[in-house]
């Protein structure tokens, strides 16, 4: 029966941490806090297959003033997975056949999630429709990425392009988190959270001149 693993040396521990995503996650969290975001590390979501609670790396939220009322704010939400890539990630692109249709494939997080239709008081518009993503969003202009890969050196010294499972798992988790977010589980901040976010954003100057989307809401 094999014995316990030997205790890791400080040098090996440092090397393992540098190759992991832990330090990258910490640096991103600090940068977001300095920028006025409310940041929650290791936020939870419900796994769509097992229904168990799982964690993703970072949830960050910021507030932008959108009107004269006390709660007239747009809440920007970032859902983040951190991967420390040992090699670059390549995106393979091609020209789209109908670029304007990709506006409906843009996934968004944050609040608000829908807008009153100015032409029909009984209906609502998605953010893509309200802001007319087809006129400016990068999904609707130029080439689009349809595949990705990274690189690994083979035993004979040649480089090969391949799909790293870590990248697939990170992309899949972000898709699951975004689905969960769009059901309202992550994007509806409670009153104390959005108040602290507004105070933090205000202190960093994020609640000054309205952005174009804010003017459209008025």
| Structural contact between residues 30 and 41, judged by C-beta atoms closer than 8 angstroms | no
Whether 19 is in a domain gets the answer yes
Whether 147 is in a domain gets the answer yes
C-alpha dihedral (196, 207, 37, 128), degrees to nearest 10: 110
C-alpha dihedral (128, 198, 181, 120), degrees to nearest 10: -40
Helix and strand counts by DSSP (H, E) for the chain: 6, 9
Whether 170 is in a domain gets the answer yes
Split into its structural domains, the chain has a count of 1
Whether 125 is in a domain gets the answer no
Whether 122 is in a domain gets the answer no
**CB under 8 Å to 87, separation ≥6 — which residues?**
150, 151, 152
Whether 114 is in a domain gets the answer no
One digit per residue, the tens of pLDDT, for the chain of length 218 reads 566 778 989 998 888 888 888 889 999 999 999 999 999 999 999 999 999 999 999 999 998 888 888 878 888 899 999 988 889 999 999 998 888 888 888 888 888 878 889 888 889 998 888 889 889 988 888 888 889 999 999 999 999 998 888 899 999 999 999 888 877 665 444 545 555 555 555 555 554 333 333 333 32
Whether 129 is in a domain gets the answer no
Rg, the chain, Cα only: 21
Domain range for 45 is: 10-95+143-212
Two structure tokens written together for 38: 């409310």
**CB under 8 Å to 66, separation ≥6 — which residues?**
72, 73, 74, 210, 214, 217, 218
Whether 2 is in a domain gets the answer no
Whole-prediction pTM: 0.74
């Amino acid at each position: 029966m094999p014995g316990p693993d030997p205790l890791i040396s400080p040098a090996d521990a440092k090397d393992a941490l540098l190759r992991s995503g832990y330090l990258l996650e910490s640096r991103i969290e600090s940068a977001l806090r300095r920028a006025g975001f409310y940041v929650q590390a290791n936020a939870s979501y419900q796994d769509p297959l097992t229904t168990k609670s799982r964690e993703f790396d970072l949830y960050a939220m910021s507030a932008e003033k959108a009107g004269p009322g006390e709660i007239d704010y747009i809440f920007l939400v970032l859902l983040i997975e951190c991967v420390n890539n040992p090699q670059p990630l390549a995106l393979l692109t091609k020209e789209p056949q109908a670029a304007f249709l990709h506006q409906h494939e843009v996934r968004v997080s944050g609040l608000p999630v829908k807008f009153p239709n100015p032409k029909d008081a009984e209906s609502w518009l998605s953010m893509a429709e309200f802001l007319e993503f087809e006129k400016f969003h990068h999904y609707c202009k130029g080439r689009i990425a349809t595949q990705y890969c990274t690189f690994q050196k083979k035993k004979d010294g040649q480089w090969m392009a391949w799909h790293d499972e870590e990248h697939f798992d990170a992309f899949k988790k972000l898709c699951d988190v975004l689905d969960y977010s769009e059901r309202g589980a992550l994007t509806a901040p409670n009153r104390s959270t959005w108040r602290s976010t507004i105070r933090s954003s205000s202190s960093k100057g994020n609640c000054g001149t309205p952005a174009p989307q804010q003017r459209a809401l008025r």
